[in-house]
Amino acid sequence: MIRLWRIAPCDEKVATQTRKNISELDLEEDIQPDQKFFSVVMQDDTAAVLYFAVSLESVLAGHEGWVYGIDWHPPVYSGKLQRSNKIKTTV
Q: What is the pLDDT of residues 9-34, one digit of tens each?
A: 999 988 888 777 778 888 888 777 78
Mean per-residue pLDDT, 72-84: 55
46 lies in the same domain as 2: yes
Mean per-residue pLDDT, 45-55: 89
Q: Is residue 12 part of a domain?
A: yes
Q: Is residue 29 part of a domain?
A: no
Burial tier of 81 (Cβ tally within 10 Å: 0-12, 13-18, 19+): middle
| Residue 82, pLDDT above cutoff 60 | no
Q: How many domains does the chain have?
A: 2
Task: Confirm if 67 and 91 have CB atoms less than 8 A apart.
Answer: no
Task: Confirm if 73 and 82 have CB atoms less than 8 A apart.
Answer: yes
d(CA 31, CA 25): 8
What pTM did the predictor assign? Answer: 0.58
